[in-house]
Amino acid sequence: MDLGLKGKRALVLGAGGGLGQAVALSLAAEGAVVVAAGRTLDKVQQTVEQIKSAGGTAHAMTWDVRELDRLSALHEQAVQLAGGHIQILFNNGGGPAPSPVQAQPLSVWQEQVNNLILPVIALTDAVLPAMKQHGWGRILTNASSGVVVPIPNLAMSNTLRGALVGWNKTLANEVATSGVTANMVLPGRVATDRTRFIDQNKATKEGVGVEEIERRSMGSIPVGRYGKPQEYGDVVAFLASERASYVTGSMVRIDGGAILSV
């Protein structure tokens, strides 16, 4: 199947590793021109080198989503690197540290609002005018299975990513007639550094080995294993494609069946 992504211009946040890197690789493999952005330039450049080695086209740039005062300048830099307006945006920010929901300082809540919510809204607002003007665009926002079934001890992620669910659905309805789609992607247990960090944190808290935590987690997943980053990236590439033009306002689970609700 031709996904119709050849020459499409994509901006991928958090592209230095994990899920962001997987998305950048999958989009580039389908012929998209990828602007790979992240806080650590060396890591982003490694992603770009992988893409170029495979015959794809990509450009690296440093982007800290928390620096909202620089967002306009960074967006313009991405447009210049891409060679035109951004047609595909993958919103992706680092997850907050594990914590319970109770008794968290308000300053920490405010910090995480600035990290997880405001950059997504602001950057989407920056790319949308050109998408609507040209009648085509894809907004994809990484979240978590925790927005459907809250994950214990990930209270801030559950809460704040959950707020983006309402934002995404509202946005999708507003831009639906403009040729722009907006979808959220909900990863389950995908084998990334973030997943390993969470497993190690839980192992330390319970006083067991991380291998035991992984064994239990895999036992709760119908497919019996953690997901591969490429499996996640390929689903995002489909949602970004011409073939997914009738999919919008959705939350797409990539979790091996781990979410038990229908």
What's the 3-state SS for the chain? CCCCCCCCEEEECCCCCHHHHHHHHHHHHCCCEEEEEECCHHHHHHHHHHHHHCCCEEEEEECCCCCHHHHHHHHHHHHHHHCCCCCEEEECCCCCCCECCCCCCHHHHHHHHHHHCHHHHHHHHHHHHHHHHHCCEEEEEECCHHHCCCCCCEHHHHHHHHHHHHHHHHHHHHHHHHCEEEEEEEECCECCHHHHHHHHHHHHHHCCCHHHHHHHHHHCCCCCCCECHHHHHHHHHHHCCHHHCCCCCCEEEECCCCCCCC
Mean pLDDT for the stretch of residues 209-219: 94
What band does 262 get if pLDDT is binned at 50, 70 and 90? confident
**Contact yes or no for 184/141 (Cβ under 8 A):** yes
Highest mean pLDDT pick, 79-83, 150-154, 196-200:
79-83
Categorize the per-residue pLDDT at 103 as very low, low, confident or very high, splitting at 50, 70 and 90.
Answer: very high
Q: What percentage of residues in the chain have a pLDDT greater than 90?
A: 93
The confidence score (pLDDT) of residue 248 equals: 98
pLDDT at residue 141, rounded to an integer: 98
**Position with higher pLDDT, 154 vs 94:** 154
- Cα separation, 100 vs 187, whole angstroms: 21
The pLDDT of residue 95 is 83
Chain centre distance of CA 88: 12
Cα gap 77→161, rounded to integer Å: 27
Q: Which residues pair with 137 in a beta bridge?
A: 180
Q: What is the pLDDT of residue 97?
A: 87
Average pLDDT of the chain is 96
User: Taking the model in full, what pTM does it have?
Assistant: 0.95
Overall average pLDDT of the 198-224 stretch: 93
- Tokens describing residue 97: 């540290």
Per-residue model confidence (pLDDT) at position 19: 97
How would residue 184 be classed by pLDDT, with cut points 50, 70 and 90?
very high
